[in-house]
Amino acid sequence: MAANAQSSRPIIGLIGMGEMGKMYAEALSKAGGSTIHVCDLPSKYDQLVEYCKGKPGLVPMVDGHHVSRSSDFIVYSVEAEYLDAVVKQYGPSTKMGAIVAGQTSVKAPERAAFDKHLPSDVKIVSIHSLHGPTVSPEGQALIIIQHRASQAEVRIVEQILAPLKSRYVHLTYDEHDEVTANTQAVTHAAFLTMGTAWRCMQSFPWETGRYIGGIEVVKINIALRIYAAKWHVYAGLAILNPTAKKQIKQYAQSVSELFKLMIIGKEDELRERVFAARDYVFTRDADGNSPAPILLSDKALDKFEIGAPEASPAPRANSHLSLLAMVDCWHALKIRPFDHLAIGATPVFRFWIGVAEYLFRSEERLEHAIHSAVNDITHRSDDAEFLVAARGWSECVGYGNFEAYRLRFEETAKFFEPRFEESRKQNAAMFKFLAEEPVRAAQGKVEPSS
């Protein structure tokens, strides 16, 4: 591979300077010693020039042709929906012998685009940072995919990306899409559904006095975290990944079937189904032992609040339909989420498993949720809105409609926008705490249902 004569290091090229592109650019720039050619849409060139000022090593370029022909390691950080067109446009200009990567959340269309449009002498070692641009990459999972390259070329990529201080996880393209579907797609769908339901009720949940504390704090903060981000980050992962589509459909089905058991009063049948899901997801051997880790301590979830609840009676029990359906969905699809923690656990995924675990490992909390689901109608209208929202998101993803996805997302984001800054501070504290919260060994057994 040709190298920058001045620094004897490969010249890095970044095509696409959205939030993740900028995260990579800034991390590599701060490390020093590298020349980094960057481009965005040609219409944004003047803004890009301003952005690069004062950032060592960053060289703004007019378009992807200039980046491709001059760089040794090129990363496409482009929305998955448009990646094929962008690679078709700039791929033929790729420097002979260069290594190309894609920083997309769904890899099937990326692989097809690279195989179709990149010259045969170009190497392919793709990547994916399993976190958002506002999370420090240090210690987070960074997927590396050796597709059309030697082991030596993989090591070059690892050395280039070393300044991120991420944890490398080596997967194939197919393994990547399965893991991201299992850890992200349904998780995002659950939080998108919560947000849509709250918008349809036209109420900020933390102001009702019914949602404050514990599990609900995590739900609220992460839902707002997702809606404060870019819609296309989640749309591509859901719509372009066939495994994700299947899982999101099953999540909506689980919500629907559990809700029906609730409203017709079949408490025993609901309990049997919920316990079966619990036994599959959280019980790990024939003796009922559950060596899967404890992700959040009992006191952890009470450390955070958002807003101030109105003066009102203490909140009543909650059916936790979103969590019951999540574990039911994992059971129906035979997914063991703990198996993916070491491979590709995002901070959001760890929190989501953590609150599910918090509910399902406690016989008292789980029984309370089941009893409330059938006998306490306080949250019944909320659960009905959640069901409708879950179906809506599932159909939107199933139809593969990016525009409908954008409209649904942005409508809810607009509703929550006045709360984003407050939530952002809480999220920073939550994720800092998560990084420091020790993972504990499970004690005793999760009693299987009879």
Residue 441 falls inside a structural domain: no
Residues 290 and 329 in one domain: yes
Handedness of CA 339, 341, 346, 348 (dihedral sign): positive
**Arithmetic mean of pLDDT over the chain:** 86
Write down the pLDDT at residue 208. 59
Same-domain pairing of 100 and 183: no
What would the mean pLDDT of 392-411 be, rounded to a whole number?
96
Q: Over 60: is that where the pLDDT of 444 sits? A: no
Residues 251, 135: Cα–Cα separation, whole Å: 27
Same domain, 375 and 266: yes
Statement to judge: residues 145 and 207 lie in one domain: no
In the prediction, which pLDDT does 384 show? Answer: 96
Which residue, of 142, 171, 200, is where some domain finishes?
171
Statement to judge: residues 145 and 184 lie in one domain: no
In a domain, 320, yes or no: yes
**Cα 178 off chain centre by:** 13
- CATH number assigned to the domain comprising residue 38: 3.40.50.720
131 pLDDT more than 70: yes
Q: Is residue 1 part of a domain?
A: no
Q: Which of 145, 171, 197 is the last residue in one of the domains?
A: 171
Q: What's residue 58's pLDDT?
A: 97
- 166 and 236 assigned to the same domain: no
Structural domain includes residue 116: yes
Q: Judge if 370 and 432 occupy the same domain.
A: yes
- Give me the residue label for tokens 């006045």: 418
- Name the more confident of 159 and 419: 159
Asked whether residue 7 is assigned to any structural domain, the reply reads no
Q: 10 Å Cβ neighbour count for 236?
A: 24
Domain shared by 87 and 203, yes or no: no
Q: What pLDDT does 422 receive?
A: 77
The pLDDT of residue 206 is 65
Same domain, 53 and 152: yes
Distance CA 240, CA 109 (A): 7
For residue 58, being part of any structural domain is answered with yes
C-alpha 55/C-alpha 76 separation (Å) is: 20
Q: What are phi and psi of 340, to 5 degrees?
A: -100, -5
Mean pLDDT lowest for which of 65-74, 201-210, 259-268? Answer: 201-210
Residues 6+ apart with CB under 8 A from 333: 246, 247, 250
Residue 112 resides in a domain: yes
Average pLDDT (8-20) is 93
Domains contained in the chain, number: 2
78 with 211, same domain: the answer is no
Task: Say if residue 201 is in the same domain as residue 80.
Answer: no
Percent of the chain's residues with pLDDT above 70 = 84
Q: At which of 140, 171, 202 does a domain end? A: 171
Residues 263 and 144 in one domain: no
Predicted local distance difference test score (pLDDT) of residue 312: 46
In a domain, residue 447? The reply is no
Q: Regarding predicted confidence, which is higher, 348 or 138?
A: 138
The confidence score (pLDDT) of residue 93 equals: 97
Domain that holds residue 266: 175-436
Residue of higher predicted confidence among 2 and 327: 327
Q: Which class for 160: exposed (0-12), middle (13-18), buried (19 or more C-beta within 10 A)?
A: buried
CB-facing half-sphere around the CA of 31: CA atoms within 13 A: 18
Question: Whole-angstrom Cα distance, residue 315 to residue 335?
Answer: 33
